[in-house]
Structure 1
Amino acid sequence: MSAAARPVSSQSTADPAVGLPAWIYRDPDFFELEKRTIFRTSWQLVCHGSDMPNPGDYHSFDMLGESIVSVRGRDGEIRSFHNVCRHRASRLLDGPKGHCGGRITCPYHAWTYSLDGRLIGVPHRETFRDLKPELHGLVPLEQEIFMGFIFVRLEPGLPSVREMLAPYAHELAAYRLEELVPQGRVTLRPRTVNWKNVADNYSDGMHIDVAHPGLSRLFGNSYGIEAQPWVDKMWGVLQDKPSSNWSERRYQQLLPQVEHLPPERQRLWTYFKLWPNVAFDIYPDQIDFMQFIPVSPTETMIREIAYVHPDNRREMRAARYLNWRINRQVNKEDTTLIARVQAGMESSSYTVGPLSEGEVCLRNFTRRMHEMIPESRSARKV
């Protein structure tokens, strides 16, 4: 991070002086603690409402042995359920998205549910003594729709998404997120690293000047970071000086004005990371969503998709393509970085590393881990 960018934290001066210990980036027992303590109570993003425009459209999402499905009902409402039949636990709907018609029918024994989750059909009903259909509907999940995005969680615990993102609601409102539509499809990218290494790297500002020459050419000295209790923010302003790289230079030249954005956001790239593993890359031309899904102590699945406002201008189509080219290179660089860190976490020489006063996002993340799982305070496994 450039010295010109001033990191800001909403936290007290009691911030951690060192980062998280290496053992929690690879330990199976700690991973089980994270599954129970962090991920069952965290909000996870399924999709955007525009991914399911019609009744019977659905989107599914799997994480840590749980299968979740969100479906649009006949009344236009979106509801989220465990994607599990109440009879013999079969998965009900397959694939990341699809259309199930006017009802959900189990492929195993044909138990049938309405789009609002009610059990409405049981073959051989007369053989199920004392069956009460009202007690065997699909199990709902707590759901929150925030600016068009569908969030769910398995258990209560954290504040609402609206409360967590409140410090930046005014900024997000400028992008009219409710009006977005998907561009392309959800992609899954496996990485042989702990999920925290992906999250750490996303909010780390000090590596930009060192490891991302393209971003440095685009942003100059404008890159900054700050941390709020539940969300990190990073940002950079596109410079007028033409980049020496063709894709970057053409993006600078071709990026058109976006009618609904105020002047200060026409050339601004902003990144938000919602605790613990949901991220939005917000550009003038598109919004990229990423989720760092834990698979094992040393495996993570990065789930991502881009959303856009409909815009058929040639300049906008070109800018979105160039954005993809630029960020494909950034992703390659980050993939190499996090692999190097994960390998270093195996070394007996490393326990914890110091955090600078400027690393406010990493300090915030460390503090939150200390609060939720006290074992993370120990430099070595006890």
Structure 2
Amino acid sequence: MNNNDTVTRRRPTDGQLALARKVAAGEARSNAGVGHVPASVYIDPDHWAREKRTLFDRMPQVLCPSALLPDPNMSVAHDATGRPLLITRDGDGKAHVFMNVCRHRGTRLVEGCAVAKGKRMVCPYHAWSYATDGRLLALPRPDTFPGFDKDAHGLVELPSHESGGLIWFSPVEGADFSDAAEVGRDFDAIGFAGKHLYERRTHLVASNWKLIMDAFLESYHVLRLHAATIAPFFKDGITAGDQIGPHQRSLVGRAAEMEGIDLSDWDELRKVGTFAYQLFPATVIVVSPDYVNVMTIMPQGVNRTMAEDFMLIPQPPQSEKAESHWRRSWELLDGGVFASEDFRAAALGQEGLETGAVTQLTLGTLEGGIRRFHEICTEEMAKGDAALANG
């Protein structure tokens, strides 16, 4: 083979390949029989307050895919974590997360939640202006602020991390992003960072955040709940799963369809299996054969959750035919599968649980991912309690 015949193949990570080999060998996720989850974890306000304190006010969390801010000098406000945030990409291409608060009088700096492009962000009250790297650039009538140190009045920055095409932040200093970096290697294998953001949409769901997470931790419901939408594209298959820190990774596929497939070739593997990631505490990524869905799940209360869905495709549509294809895919998934089916089921589940008729949820052997997710919640909340107790 000469150099002109050489083709660079995208390869899965060792972890992805290990799951593929398990599915190909017919080895299902390890399950320990029927299990249960207390209904109280979905409906008890005190439990939710503890989750907020120990998980969402402490742990690193995904805010958005990198594709939301593809170019230098871009910014977008983000309010759904319970604090006014501002995500930027500075002139050198580095991502930042700031408090969306002017350092002068505390005014919200950027209004709305639309992505903006520009080197300056200007406060609507007194026109103090900031660079996308957080520096205070200028203020009107600087002579009226004698002795003012402009360099000491940049935007308040929070810890953040970008890898694998995702932007993470931490609400507290000293965050450990090592697990985020490790899972980012999986997304690099997928080519995630080079994807184009086709569409984004935010949904408000009348349910506890964990009911939405639960839906993406098992494939038992797919042929039933999604019978009129995506079920024809799926078959009950084998699920293999593992963990990267507190994050769960799974692959659903059928052993028969993997016969003769080069599992070390990412493009071939993606045709016969669906990878899903549950990034703790509340982000879901589903890797379909030709696009990727990222869903950030942001609880607003014990029975109210905001979910922002992002659809990433290989490149911007190059023709009307391509645009029509991606539009149909987007509306099928976000408007049909997620909004009309998964989110509806979560809301119906919340209604039922709040009656008190069911004191515990019953989980079968195809729902082991849910059981493990709740175990991780318990483990991480205990860590949070200990950290708070130690100051």
TM-score of the pair, normalised by structure 1: 0.79
How many residues in Structure 1 have an aligned counterpart in Structure 2? 348
Q: 1:294 to 1:318 in 2, by over 3 A?
A: same
Instruction: Give, in whole Å, the separation in 2 of the partners of 1:289 and 1:318.
Output: 21
Letter in 1 for 2:86: V
| Aligned ranges 1:39-50 → 2 under 5 Å | 39-50=56-67
- How many angstroms does 1:223 deviate by? 4.9
Counterpart in the other structure of 1:378: none
Pairing 1:343-382 to 2, within 5 Å after superposition = 343-373=351-381
- The question of 1:8 aligning with 2:29 is answered yes
Deviations 1:308-365 (A, max 9, x none): 1126378765653453354343222223321221012112332223434543211221
Out of 95, 104, 107, which is 2:121 matched to?
104
Percent identical among aligned pairs is 25
Given residue 375 of structure 2, which amino acid in structure 1 is its aligned partner? R
Q: Which residue of 2 aligns with 1:163?
A: 179
Whether the aligned pair in 2 keeps the contact of 1:219 and 1:237 (CA below 8 Å) is no
Contact 1:285-1:320 at 8 Å conserved across structures:
no
Code of the aligned partner of 2:124: P
Question: Which residue identity does 2:220 align to in structure 1?
Answer: M
Deviation at 1:240, TM superposition (A): 11
Q: Does 1:271 align with 2:287?
A: no
CA distance in 2, matches of 1:313, 1:222: 35
Backbone CA RMSD of aligned residues: 3.4
Bigger Cα displacement from structure 2, 337-346 vs 61-70? 61-70
Change (3 A) 1:130 1:65: farther
CA contact (8 A) 1:50 1:180 kept: yes
Deviation at 1:306, TM superposition (A): 0.8
Answer yes or no: is 1:233 the counterpart of 2:249.
Answer: yes
Aligned-pair CA distance for 1:180: 0.8
State the alpha-carbon separation in 1 of the partners of residues 343 and 114 from structure 2: 27
Deviation of residue 74 (structure 1)?
2.5
**How many angstroms apart in 2 are the aligned matches of 1:165 and 1:100?**
27
Deviations 1:150-186 (A, max 9, x none): 22121257642x525736844x3342112111113x2
Structure 1 residues 79 and 190: alpha-carbon distance in aligned structure 2, compared to 1, 3 A threshold: same
Please point out which of 296, 311, 314 is paired with 1:306: 311
Give the direction of change, closer, same or farther, for the CA distance of 1:321–1:114 in structure 2 (3 Å limit).
Answer: closer
The equivalent position to 2:212 in structure 1, one of 198, 203, 214, is 198
Name the TM-score, length of structure 2 as normaliser: 0.77
Superposition pairs of residues 250-261 of structure 1, within 5 angstroms: 261=266
- Partner in structure 1 of residue 196 of structure 2: 181
CA distance in 2, matches of 1:318, 1:79: 35
Preserved CA contact (<8 Å) 1:47 1:59: no
Contact preservation (8 Å) 2:238, 2:254: no
Residue 158 to residue 143, structure 1, CA distance change in 2 (3 Å): closer
Q: Distance in 2 between matches of 1:351 and 1:151?
A: 35
Report which of the two has the higher share of helix.
2
User: Corresponding residue for 2:94?
Assistant: 77
Residue 18, structure 1, aligned to residue 36, structure 2: yes
Give the aligned residue type for 1:163: D
Pairwise CA distance, 1:193: 0.6
Q: Shift in Å at residue 194 of structure 1?
A: 1.0
Q: Distance in 2 between matches of 1:33 and 1:100?
A: 38
User: What CA distance in whole angstroms lies between the structure 2 residues aligned with 1:371 and 1:261?
Assistant: 33
Runs of 5+ unmatched residues, structure 2: 1-24, 258-264, 384-391
Paired with 2:343 and 2:304, the residues of 1 have a C-alpha distance of 13
CA distance change for structure 1 residues 370 and 99 in 2, over 3 Å: closer, same or farther? closer
Shift of 1:303: 0.4
- Counterpart of 1:330 (choices 314, 321, 337) is 337
**1:57-85 CA-partner distances (Å, limit 9, x unpaired):** 21221124312112222233332211111
Q: Structure 1 239/354 Cα, relative in aligned 2: closer, same or farther at 3 Å?
A: closer
Q: Distance in 1 between matches of 2:344 and 2:41?
A: 21
One-letter amino acid matched to 2:182: A
Distance across 2 between alignment mates of 1:26 and 1:353: 12
- Give, in angstroms, the shift of residue 299 of structure 1: 0.8
Task: Give SS of 1:266's match.
Answer: helix
